[in-house]
């Protein structure tokens, strides 16, 4: 497996945000593991307490900005402001606190999961998604082709009723979700954002991912696109830089 930070051009002074659906949390942890030194992981939404406790070397609860450590206290330090949902979820901080008190203009590496998708592979964005501070240096958008060939429904599209899709999910529908106004890629600096396509576990899904990646390159020639899935023969998946 190639170093994911090299493929995404992420360094130890970057503030990286990950949005979209289909593999954001896994990608956040993978990036953090490949960065040198101590790293802040965090979220602007709610994440699983058990998942972060199992993965991170330290959970740092700071309900008040003045209690935030100067630097990540451990190799992989997950920062949160409070518990919710009976303690099963950790609630992250607001983007401006993350930028000013965690990242500190490049002093600490920060990797942040910036929105939620209820563990579904696709999503419709609402007007309150993309909680950004304006100081982010790397922006990654995730999408999954795992539901390719399924009927579009609330079972595979988060906030399905915001824009009800009809028919079988194919690569043109996913492109519409990505590149239309109000879609995944309707974000600041979209021309430099990286698109990560996951869920590739068959030749058909690989072909669809290549078409989505080609459309991404046509619209954003400066952008990067990675594809991930066990179709390549590795159980942990394989990242491929598409040019």
Tell me the CA end-to-end span of the chain in Å, nearest whole number: 18
Angle at 20 between CA 127 and CA 24, to 5 degrees: 140
Q: What is the pLDDT of residue 1?
A: 41
Q: In sequence order, which ranges of 123-202 are alpha helices (DSSP H)?
A: 171-179
What average pLDDT does the segment 26-32 reach? 94
Rg from Cα positions in the chain: 17
Angle between helices 171-179 and 203-219 (to 10 degrees): 30
Residue 111 has pLDDT above 70, yes or no: yes
Q: Token pair for residue 15?
A: 């503030």
pLDDT tens-digit map of 59-99: 999 988 888 999 999 999 999 999 998 889 999 989 999 99
pLDDT tens-digit map of 140-166: 999 999 999 999 999 999 999 999 999
Q: 171 near 203, Cβ under 8 Å?
A: no
Q: What is the pTM of this model?
A: 0.93
Q: CA-to-CA distance for 100 and 220, rounded, in angstroms?
A: 30
Any idea which of 36-40, 106-110, 126-130, 208-212 has the lowest mean pLDDT?
126-130
Residue 234: pLDDT band (50, 70, 90) is: low
**Concatenated DSSP letters of 57-125:** SEEEE-SSGGGS-SS-SSSEEEEESEEEGGGTEEE---HHHIIIIIIGGGTS-EEEE----TT-SEE--
Q: Which residue has the higher pLDDT, 235 or 15?
A: 15
Q: 15 near 110, Cβ under 8 Å?
A: yes
Q: What is the pLDDT of residue 66?
A: 85
Contacts of 104 (CB under 8 A, 6+ apart): none
Residue 57 has pLDDT above 50, yes or no: yes
């Amino acid at each position: 497996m190639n170093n994911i930070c090299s493929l995404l051009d992420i360094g130890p002074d970057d503030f990286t945000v990950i949005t979209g659906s289909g593999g954001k949390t896994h990608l956040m942890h993978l990036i953090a593991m490949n960065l040198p030194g101590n790293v802040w992981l965090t979220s602007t939404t709610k994440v699983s307490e058990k998942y972060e406790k199992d993965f991170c070397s330290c959970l740092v609860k700071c309900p008040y900005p003045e209690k935030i450590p100067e630097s990540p206290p451990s190799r992989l330090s997950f920062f949160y402001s409070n518990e919710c949902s009976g303690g099963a979820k950790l609630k992250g901080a607001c983007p401006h606190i993350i930028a000013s008190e965690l990242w500190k203009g490049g002093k600490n590496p920060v990797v942040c999961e910036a929105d939620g998708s209820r563990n579904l592979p696709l999503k419709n964005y609402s007007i309150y998604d993309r909680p950004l501070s304006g100081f982010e240096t790397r922006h990654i958008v995730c999408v999954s082709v795992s539901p390719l060939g399924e009927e579009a429904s609330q079972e595979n599209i988060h906030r399905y009723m915001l824009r009800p899709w009809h028919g079988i999910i194919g690569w043109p529908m996913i492109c519409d979700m990505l590149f239309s106004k109000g879609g995944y890629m309707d974000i600041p600096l979209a021309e430099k954002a990286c698109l990560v396509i996951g869920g590739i576990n068959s030749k058909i899904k690989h072909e669809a991912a290549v078409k989505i990646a080609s459309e991404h390159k046509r619209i954003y020639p400066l952008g990067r696109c990675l594809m991930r899935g066990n179709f390549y023969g590795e159980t942990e998946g394989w990242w491929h830089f598409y040019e």
